[in-house]
């Protein structure tokens, strides 16, 4: 599998380009995993390549899943790079926090004509680190946004708790629900304390082309289906040019990945990752698997037809 690396110091962004073996003028920016060349990113790239696209995997850095003041202008550099390599159509896909990132990037850069957001929020999140400080797996930033533009923080929804209470609350919620990680109550409390302001909301009406929102009601990281419905309401009540679809499922957990992509990540035990991570996947394994199968078929068709 061919790889071409890009670095912020020389290219303006960190990422890995995976050119398709067959000539194509379509490229997807894919943000999965904590590095642009880890198993998750490579599996996602292979899955998208099969649908007739070149792939540019992007991440904040090598082995860094924290998101704090991620420079939005990196997407501008990445788009220019893709165009220089003959890509006429450019799409973007992200999951969880990077689902938010994909929506924000598409709202700023009209060259993006297909946006796929798996389990996204509808607002810009506060920044967070996964640096192990004081033994916490994750902690909030010091009053910093997850996204910045030319050095200026974009407005964000602040977390309800600070370090170290932030991770303590997540651990308590996870243990109480029988999940590997759960933070839905924390996000609900964050909104209760600080109702989302207009400037913190993602301007989905600015997105060009097609937008696909995907989420499950049993997501315990945050209430993504509520957030997706709010984005749909925003689009329905605001002038926009994009075409949009929302695929909402009762079961599927936070891991609403295409089943065959998950199989590439974990060839033998692909169904065990959601099962081990989330109580709902243990209670409803067949329903969660069917959700992933449905997403697999629908998303593959959407990318092929784009």
DSSP-derived letter for residue 272 is: H
Q: Determine the distance from the C-alpha atom of residue 251 to the mean position of all C-alpha atoms in its chain, rounded to a whole number.
A: 19
Q: CB–CB of 61/36 below 8 Å?
A: no
Half-sphere exposure of residue 198: CA atoms within 13 angstroms, side-chain side: 1
The residue ranking higher by pLDDT, 128 or 270, is 128
Residue with tokens 């050095």: 151
pLDDT of residue 268: 58
- Phi/psi of residue 69, each to 5°? 50, 45
Q: 86 — alpha (psi -120 to 50), left (phi > 0) or beta?
A: left
CATH topology of domain 4-305: Rossmann fold (3.40.50)
DSSP-derived letter for residue 245 is: E
Q: Which of 244, 249, 187, 245 is nearest to 215 (CA)?
A: 249
Candidate from 1-5, 109-113, 193-197 with smallest mean pLDDT:
1-5
Model confidence over 97-127: pLDDT tens digits? Answer: 999 999 999 999 999 999 999 999 999 999 9
Residues above pLDDT 90, as percent of the chain: 88
Residue with tokens 């689902």: 99
What whole-number distance in Å separates Cα of residue 90 and Cα of residue 17? 13
CA angle 36, 42, 44 (to 5 degrees): 100
Mean per-residue pLDDT for 259-275? 80
What whole-number distance in Å separates Cα of residue 102 and Cα of residue 23? 25
Q: Count the residues in the chain.
A: 306
Q: CB–CB of 177/219 below 8 Å?
A: no
What whole-number distance in Å separates Cα of residue 288 and Cα of residue 116? 19
Model confidence over 296-306: pLDDT tens digits? Answer: 999 999 999 99
What whole-number distance in Å separates Cα of residue 175 and Cα of residue 171? 6
DSSP β-ladder status, 147-149 and 139-145: unpaired
Model confidence over 17-76: pLDDT tens digits? Answer: 999 999 999 999 999 977 899 888 999 999 999 999 999 999 887 765 667 899 999 999
User: Which pair of structure tokens corresponds to residue 299?
Assistant: 């998303």
C-alpha dihedral, 292 to 251 to 204 to 142, nearest 10°: -100
């Amino acid at each position: 599998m061919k790889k071409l690396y890009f670095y912020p110091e020389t290219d303006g962004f960190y990422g890995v380009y995976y050119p398709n073996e067959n000539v194509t003028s379509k490229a997807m920016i894919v943000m999965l995993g904590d590095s642009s060349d880890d198993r998750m990113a490579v599996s996602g790239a292979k899955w998208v390549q099969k649908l007739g696209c070149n792939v540019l995997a992007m991440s904040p850095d090598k082995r860094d899943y924290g998101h704090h003041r991620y420079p939005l202008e990196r997407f501008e550099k990445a788009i220019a790079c893709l165009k220089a390599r003959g890509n006429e159509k450019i799409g973007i896909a992200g999951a969880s926090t990077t689902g938010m990132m994909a929506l924000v990037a598409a709202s700023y850069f009209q060259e993006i004509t297909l946006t796929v957001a798996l389990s996204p929020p509808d607002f810009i999140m506060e920044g967070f680190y996964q640096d192990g400080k004081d033994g916490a797996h994750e902690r909030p930033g010091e009053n910093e946004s997850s996204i910045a533009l030319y050095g200026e923080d974009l407005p964000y929804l602040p977390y309800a708790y600070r370090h170290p209470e932030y991770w303590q609350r997540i651990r308590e919620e996870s243990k109480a629900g029988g999940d590997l990680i759960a933070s839905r109550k924390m996000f609900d409390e964050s909104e209760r304390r600080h109702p989302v302001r207009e400037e913190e909301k993602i301007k989905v009406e600015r997105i060009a082309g097609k937008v696909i929102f995907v989420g499950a009601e049993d997501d315990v990281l945050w209430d993504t289906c509520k957030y997706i419905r709010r984005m749909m309401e925003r689009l329905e009540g605001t002038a926009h040019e994009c075409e949009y679809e929302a695929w909402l499922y009762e079961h599927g957990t936070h891991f609403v990945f295409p089943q065959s992509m998950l199989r590439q990540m974990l060839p033998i035990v692909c169904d065990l990752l959601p099962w081990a991570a989330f109580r709902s996947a243990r209670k409803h394994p067949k329903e969660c698997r069917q959700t992933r199968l449905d997403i697999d078929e629908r998303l593959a068709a959407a990318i092929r037809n784009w």
